[in-house]
Structure 1
Amino acid sequence: MTPKADTRVRDAAGASPRERAERGRAARAKAPRSSHGEYAPVRRRPDPIDVIEAQSASRVPELVPIRYGRMSESPFRFYRGAAAIMAGDLAGTPASGLRAQLCGDAHLMNFRLLASPERQLLFDLNDFDETLPGPWEWDVKRLATSLVIAGRENGYTDEERAHVVAATVRTYREQMRRFAGMRNLDVWYAKADADLLQALASGRLHKRGRKRMSRALAKARTRDSLQAFGKLTHEVDGRPRIVSSPPLITPVSELLLPDGMHNALRERLDELIDRYRRTLRSDLRRLLDQYTVVDMARKVVGVGSVGTRCWIILLMGRDGRDPLFLQAKEADTSVLAAHAGASAYPMQGERVVAGQRLMQAAGDMMLGWIRLDGIDGRERDFYVRQLRDWKGIAEPSLMVPRGMRAFGELCGATLARAHARSGDRIAIAAYLGGGDVFDRALTTFAEAYADQNEHDHAALLAAVKSGRVSAEDA
């Protein structure tokens, strides 16, 4: 059943471009652009450890210490797992009242190389676990702060970090103004492909940076189901099986479950595939029907998602060289929901899929969702996608300031395009204006929130040291 449209991200029906622009400029009275530089923790700010512990309560207990171990490693690793903490803090910051579909976790590591269904290599947002309509400023602030935190870890000076953030936000602002003048269809056709990335590298990066870009583009094209098949499987009695590497990858047969529950779990996962196929287009259902499930395993995923239930599922097609790896990842309520409003979608997996389709220029054609009863009797929502599909990820620790600035500009342009597809791009562009007031404000905010993040990371280290929480390396 199709949910009612969420009017919180729609333009005012029938409003002219001039009226929409006036609405954006009028929003400056509510939230002056300079006010976005402000950040101070609220008087009764929740304990950050309580926030992440509340999230952990619904996760797989034996995996939670791995989450804390990863978040303990550095302030940047902590930040990647602290979207819920920042969502609460952002709710107390100024907002223009203009909304868009948000990524919800728009830090720099969630921008990466991806494949389109037409087999073009694109640069786009990737992680949509927290996607929800909300104030567009929240995504920009999370991106800006991630650049400061990464820059601090790389030893950049205050001036170098300020240049990186200002360039990123300026690009977001300028691209939003460009999208404001474009036809609706042209906004939806916009994308950043490999040719554009190469052009950017040739004009903005030194020789070493250009070589690194070329290697990243070439490597991304090798990261597909066939590559995953070679890395993640081995042959057992003549049949492919997912390799065991606990706790990161644990085949179903090796999970510590009561007697008889392994078969029950396998049946649930078989049911997941059957129900998931119903959310695909008819032609893609036909494609999926040509594959057979041969093995499944639980997989530990990225920092923020460690402990959520995630399954990798190996399917085989015409022969032993025709694998398809799917990932079924648990989808819980967005961390933004308590502050930006509940989703219009009844299933959290559908929320993720709908947000991803709305924000990405071209998404995974195998993207779908499902709700399923688990062996513990609880209903859980999942979204399903290909495990690997030409994915390439940034390595911020290897970036010099010039390289991070170029990467930040690319992220800023990509985020503007994603917001322009759902939000009132004309109003947002008018709010931002042609000057650098918002850019300068965000450089101040990002430094202040990076300080807050360091304090929260220190609180986690203290909690681990005191035994309040357990942390493990994995």
Structure 2
Amino acid sequence: MSSIRLSLLALALTATACAQAPAVAAGARKDWVVQHIRDHNHPYAASARGELDTKLATMAGGPFAFYRGTAHLFFEDMNTLPASNYASAQTGYTWIGGDAHLGNFDASRDSGGKAVFKVADFDEGYLGQYLWDLRRLAASLVLAGRDNGVSDAKIGTAIDTLVGNYVDKMADFKGNSGESSFRLSKDNTSGAVADIIAKADGKTRDKLLSKYTEVSGGARKFQALDTLVAVSAATRSGLISAMAGYVSSIAESKRYPASYYTVKDVRQKLGSGVGSLGRARYYVLIEGGSAQNSDDAILEFKQEAVSAVAVAAPGRLPASAYDSHQGLRVARTAKAQVSNADVLIGHASIGGTPFYVREKSPFQEDFDPAKLDSAGKLDTAAGYLGQALASAHALADQDYDSSVVSYSIDKQVSDVVTSKSGLKTEIRGFAFDYADQVELDWQAFVEAYNAGTALY
């Protein structure tokens, strides 16, 4: 019996003694799941009921969708489940993304113009065990693989590939600065990953602008779309006022002339993401490099909150590292984990609410887990996922900011993984057992959702 099965059994036996501890059976854990989901969503109930309704309906669609919307449940469990055999105090200070799953990778052109495959979501960025990202990603392979009809045996092989490539790439980085030049591009990938890199590289700014905007009377503005809605005069004014703070959050060496950031139009963006539904998201159309309409840019302002990882590692990322501003925390994670990061990454506050700001990239292609519909496709992609995750962790250590992480994470991880096969076995066992728990939690959620239980 694997370590997580033993731990879940222990939790089940002690559930009556500790009401906060999740139990193994859906019935025993249902109240816990429902309460935590409601508590997580309730802060947005007054301002975003429609978005929360969309979120709950999406989560009801299947275990993987549910998993995407409940990173907070995952870290509640990481707070109670036993540690790995391949962890140390030092590896517990890895700058992790916190929500590693198949849907949180993409391909896009970096600031140097090269199309690359990489991690792509930083909302939960925080300091924690590298294994938490690896565990969460591996469990997502099980859930998405089952959705795609891949057998558990073949999914297990893909998890071994994921872990093996992660460990090997960390070993490659140990003792050198290889992570600073490492890229997953069309030159060193194949399969679904190579496909989305090619798609990202083939995109144009004109195509993105045509999707969301139109030119009328010589001026570009947002189209009237169901997913782009007009904002109040007060919200528009707040966004325009926040631009000065946003621009000042960008390093002076990476700022464009002030005219670049001139606001042309503003809309609220609806229906994006899963876990972040309910938080405010705005698209801001700005002038770009010239007065011509062809080089306008779209900024995305995304409301941020405390990282879910903090439940399992409270205070581990000092507030001083992000000036107690959750938008800055996310922006710093994005810049730490990606080489040649978007030069428009920054943060802002609107009415005291923190926002992460980035460009809505014209050259981005999201990674679609549904494309991994065979054992071969899943296994090939898993190798690149492991390498991309290793790259993110290795970049975000002393080489990025020694005041946050004061040593080499690639060295610490490589040293603590004394048996690659042992770590593969451990992560594989965790992934299947935790995916089974997610499926039970999803069933409990759907039962509550269909019964009309208040979930926000």
Q: TM-score range with shorter-chain normalisation?
A: 0.7 to 0.9
Match of 1:371 in 2: 349
**How far did residue 459 of structure 1 move?**
1.6
Match of 1:234 in 2: 214
Q: How many residue pairs align between the two structures?
A: 409
Letter in 2 for 1:429: S
**How far did residue 55 of structure 1 move?**
2.0
Instruction: Tell which deviates more after alignment, 237-246 or 123-132.
Output: 237-246
Aligned counterpart in structure 1 of residue 391 of structure 2, from 405, 417, 427: 417
Secondary structure at the counterpart of residue 234 of structure 1: strand
Aligned in 2, Cα 1:295/1:337: closer, same or farther, shift over 3 Å? same
Does structure 2 retain, via aligned residues, the 8 Å contact 1:165–1:443?
yes
Asked if 1:186 is matched to 2:181, the reply is no
Match of 1:455 in 2: 440
Aligned counterpart in structure 2 of residue 445 of structure 1, from 420, 430, 438: 430
Asked if 1:264 is matched to 2:229, the reply is no
CA distance in structure 1 between the aligned counterparts of 2:4 and 2:438, rounded to whole angstroms? 18
Does structure 2 retain, via aligned residues, the 8 Å contact 1:148–1:161?
yes
Q: Give the structure, 1 or 2, with the largest relative contact order (CA under 8 Å, sep 6 or more).
A: 1
Match of 2:200 in 1: 220
Does structure 2 retain, via aligned residues, the 8 Å contact 1:36–1:438?
no
**How far did residue 341 of structure 1 move?**
2.0
Match of 1:11 in 2: none
CA distance in structure 2 between the aligned counterparts of 1:72 and 1:102, rounded to whole angstroms? 28
CA distance in structure 2 between the aligned counterparts of 1:166 and 1:214, rounded to whole angstroms? 21
Secondary structure at the counterpart of residue 321 of structure 1: helix
CA distance in structure 2 between the aligned counterparts of 1:224 and 1:271, rounded to whole angstroms? 30
Secondary structure at the counterpart of residue 112 of structure 1: strand
- Normalising to structure 2: TM-score of the pair? 0.84
Aligned counterpart in structure 1 of residue 329 of structure 2, from 340, 348, 351: 351
Q: Quick one: percent identity of the two aligned structures?
A: 26
**How far did residue 215 of structure 1 move?**
4.7
CA distance in structure 2 between the aligned counterparts of 1:179 and 1:94, rounded to whole angstroms? 28
Does structure 2 retain, via aligned residues, the 8 Å contact 1:330–1:349?
yes
| Structure 1: gaps spanning 5 or more residues | 1-33, 202-208, 253-261, 374-378
**How far did residue 288 of structure 1 move?**
4.9
**How far did residue 236 of structure 1 move?**
4.5
Match of 1:117 in 2: 111
Aligned counterpart in structure 1 of residue 62 of structure 2, from 67, 74, 99: 74
Match of 1:17 in 2: none
Match of 1:243 in 2: 223
Match of 2:382 in 1: 408
CA distance in structure 1 between the aligned counterparts of 2:6 and 2:106, rounded to whole angstroms? 30
**How far did residue 190 of structure 1 move?**
2.4
Letter in 1 for 2:63: P
Aligned in 2, Cα 1:292/1:415: closer, same or farther, shift over 3 Å? same
CA distance in structure 2 between the aligned counterparts of 1:195 and 1:287, rounded to whole angstroms? 35
**How far did residue 58 of structure 1 move?**
2.1
Post-superposition Cα deviations, 1:256-275, rounded to whole Å, max 9, x if no partner, equal xxxxxx22211101012121
**How far did residue 38 of structure 1 move?**
5.8
Aligned counterpart in structure 2 of residue 285 of structure 1, from 252, 255, 263: 255
Letter in 1 for 2:79: A
User: How large is the RMSD of aligned CA atoms in angstroms?
Assistant: 2.1
Does structure 1 retain, via aligned residues, the 8 Å contact 2:344–2:359?
yes
Match of 1:338 in 2: 311
**How far did residue 179 of structure 1 move?**
1.9
**How far did residue 36 of structure 1 move?**
6.8
Does structure 1 retain, via aligned residues, the 8 Å contact 2:142–2:152?
no
**How far did residue 434 of structure 1 move?**
4.3
Letter in 2 for 1:365: V
Asked if 1:390 is matched to 2:363, the reply is yes
Aligned in 2, Cα 1:119/1:38: closer, same or farther, shift over 3 Å? farther
Match of 1:274 in 2: 244
Aligned in 2, Cα 1:38/1:314: closer, same or farther, shift over 3 Å? farther
CA distance in structure 2 between the aligned counterparts of 1:86 and 1:331, rounded to whole angstroms? 19
Secondary structure at the counterpart of residue 329 of structure 1: strand
Aligned counterpart in structure 1 of residue 291 of structure 2, from 311, 318, 330: 318
Post-superposition Cα deviations, 1:327-384, rounded to whole Å, max 9, x if no partner, equal 01011100111221234221111111111111112311110011221xxxxx210111
CA distance in structure 2 between the aligned counterparts of 1:267 and 1:333, rounded to whole angstroms? 26
Match of 1:139 in 2: 133
Instruction: Tell which deviates more after alignment, 89-98 or 326-335.
Output: 89-98
Letter in 2 for 1:323: D
Matches within 5 A, 1:74-223: 74-95=62-83, 96=87, 97=89, 98-99=91-92, 100-180=94-174, 182-183=175-176, 185-197=177-189, 201=190, 209=191, 215-223=195-203
Does structure 1 retain, via aligned residues, the 8 Å contact 2:125–2:333?
yes
- Normalising to structure 1: TM-score of the pair? 0.81
Instruction: Tell which deviates more after alignment, 390-399 or 97-106.
Output: 390-399
Secondary structure at the counterpart of residue 293 of structure 2: coil
Post-superposition Cα deviations, 1:10-49, rounded to whole Å, max 9, x if no partner, equal xxxxxxxxxxxxxxxxxxxxxxxx8578652733227122
Secondary structure at the counterpart of residue 303 of structure 1: coil
Secondary structure at the counterpart of residue 342 of structure 2: coil
